[in-house]
């Protein structure tokens, strides 16, 4: 009788654990929605939260080992836009073409484009006079545009439209007599480009401590913009500190935050709540990929940043029933597929999409490229 009762208990625990990974209307009705405390609850009830194992008599029952795949993940619309511009220009005009800064922060993408004939530089002085140059997705300052004009360079702008939107906000605030605070990472190429639109009126803050030390000339006419690779969660404490210290400050609208950054962080939070380990594919130079690792760890799970499948250490996932997998906004999907293959080699048996929000944003290519005739401006 005791054995039967224990077996029923284990089956119930396994079913609830399965529901956490595979929620359906029926299982939610029976067991309730998954909660952040499910991992601790399972452990206290005799169910291993990492492996999902439950012992019935002398037998160990194990669930199917599952890779939980974040959705959305990988390329955002701005990255796809920039890469497609480079590929299309290479196809139409042939190599070499020049790109100021890496088009996106991913070594695999950059190496592929370099092999096709793109040459990446950080200084336009390294571009031959009169050559064809593409500005990267991160955007550039007006000073860089003037330098290109002085060297008679033929320019194609692959700046992400969301970055361009921030540039236009900075110019509008400056015309209206505002000083502007930018929340972002010092040295990031996007921040340098944005700050260059009103250098005499802009201040950079990276932390709440920076806000406390900030000295402005016109506290009653102050506005704030943010680096697009930062999410609502990334900036909320700093924005609150700014609003507390400068009550009249104009804060950015919620829709000004990059949708892709926010969506990928929401997805990685869900992965972290359902899997004891999360793997993030991305470059070590990618701000958003590094932040995904931080977000996962903040949720209480172990997380690692990997550049390709070979970086996966078997001991990280040994014996686990679930592992979460996602990718930064500059990471191509074929790297995700290679990581899945590697995890299958390591004993995982099933791949399941974990869709948090639907994403259908796309940016049209520049008109000249769409029409097949590129009117390049000197």
Average pLDDT over residues 2-21: 44
162-256 — its CATH code? 3.40.1010.20
- For 77-159+364-370, give the CATH class: alpha beta
Q: Considering the candidates 190, 192, 294, 352, report the single residue annotated as catalytic.
A: 190
Comparing CA positions, the residue from 200, 171, 157, 194 lying closest to residue 367 is 157
Taking CA atoms, 116 is separated from 78, 83, 98, 111, 182, in Å, by: 21, 12, 12, 9, 36
Pick the CATH number of 67-75+260-355 from 1.10.10.10, 3.40.1010.20, 3.30.470.10, 3.30.420.40: 3.40.1010.20
Dihedral sign, Cα of residue 299, residue 301, residue 304, residue 310: negative
237 pLDDT exceeds 80?
Answer: yes
Average pLDDT over residues 131-149: 95
Strand 132-135 versus strand 350-355 pairing type: unpaired
Distance CA 276, CA 295 (A): 14
**Do 105 and 283 contact (CB within 8 A), yes or no?**
yes
User: Domain extents for the chain?
Assistant: 2-63, 67-75+260-355, 77-159+364-370, 162-256
Of residues 31 and 107, more confidence is placed in: 107
User: What secondary structure letter does DSSP report for 63?
Assistant: P
pLDDT at position 5 is 46
pLDDT at position 361 is 87
Comparing CA positions, the residue from 198, 156, 223 lying closest to residue 366 is 156
Distance CA 291, CA 279 (A): 12
Of residues 375 and 209, more confidence is placed in: 209
215-228 pLDDT, tens digit per residue, is: 999 999 999 999 98
93-108 pLDDT, tens digit per residue, is: 999 999 999 888 888 9
204 pLDDT exceeds 90?
Answer: yes
Q: What is the pTM of this model?
A: 0.77
Residue in the structure block whose two tokens are 């400050």: 249
First to last CA, the chain: 86
pLDDT at position 13 is 42
Active site residue 102: no
Which of 195-199, 284-288, 328-332 is the least confident region?
Answer: 284-288
51 pLDDT exceeds 50?
Answer: no
371 pLDDT exceeds 70?
Answer: no
- Confidence bin at 85 (pLDDT 50/70/90): very high
As a whole number, the mean pLDDT across the chain is: 84
Fold equal for 67-75+260-355 and 162-256: yes
Rg of the chain (C-alpha set): 25
CA 84 to chain centroid, in Å, comes to 19
Residue in the structure block whose two tokens are 């930018």: 182
10 pLDDT exceeds 80?
Answer: no
**Do 144 and 159 contact (CB within 8 A), yes or no?**
no
């Amino acid at each position: 009788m005791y054995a039967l009762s224990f077996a029923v208990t284990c089956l119930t625990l396994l079913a609830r654990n399965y529901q956490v990974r595979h929620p359906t209307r029926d299982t939610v009705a029976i067991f309730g929605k998954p909660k952040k405390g499910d991992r601790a609850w399972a452990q206290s009830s005799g169910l291993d939260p990492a492996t999902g194992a439950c012992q019935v008599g002398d037998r160990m029952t194990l669930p199917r080992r599952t890779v939980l795949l974040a959705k959305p993940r990988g390329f955002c619309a701005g990255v796809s836009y920039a890469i497609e511009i480079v590929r299309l220009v290479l196809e139409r005009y042939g190599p070499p073409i020049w790109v100021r800064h890496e088009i996106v922060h991913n070594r695999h993408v950059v190496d592929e484009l370099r092999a096709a004939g793109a040459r990446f530089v950080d200084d336009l002085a390294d571009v031959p006079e009169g050559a064809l140059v593409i500005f990267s997705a991160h955007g550039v300052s007006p000073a860089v545009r003037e330098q290109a004009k002085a060297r008679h360079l033929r320019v194609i702008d692959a700046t992400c439209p969301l970055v361009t939107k921030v540039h236009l906000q900075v110019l509008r605030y400056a015309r209206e007599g505002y000083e502007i605070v930018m929340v972002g990472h010092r040295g990031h190429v996007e921040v340098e480009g944005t700050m260059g639109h009103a250098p005499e009126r802009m201040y950079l803050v990276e932390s709440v401590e920076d806000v406390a030390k900030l000295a402005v000339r016109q506290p009653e006419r102050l506005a704030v913009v943010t680096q697009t690779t930062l999410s609502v969660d990334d900036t909320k404490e700093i924005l609150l500190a700014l609003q507390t210290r400068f009550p009249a400050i104009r804060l950015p609208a919620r829709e000004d935050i990059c949708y892709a950054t926010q969506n990928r962080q929401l997805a990685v939070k869900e992965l972290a709540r359902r899997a004891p380990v999360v793997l993030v594919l991305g470059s070590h130079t990618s701000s958003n990929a590094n932040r995904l690792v931080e977000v996962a760890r903040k949720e209480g799970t172990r997380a690692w940043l990997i550049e390709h499948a070979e970086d996966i250490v078997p001991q990280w996932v040994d014996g686990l029933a679930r592992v979460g997998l996602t990718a930064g906004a500059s990471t191509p999907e074929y790297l995700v597929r290679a990581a899945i293959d590697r995890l299958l080699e390591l004993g995982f048996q099933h791949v399941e999409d974990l869709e948090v929000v639907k994403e259908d944003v796309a940016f049209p290519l520049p008109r000249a490229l769409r029409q097949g005739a590129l009117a390049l401006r000197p």
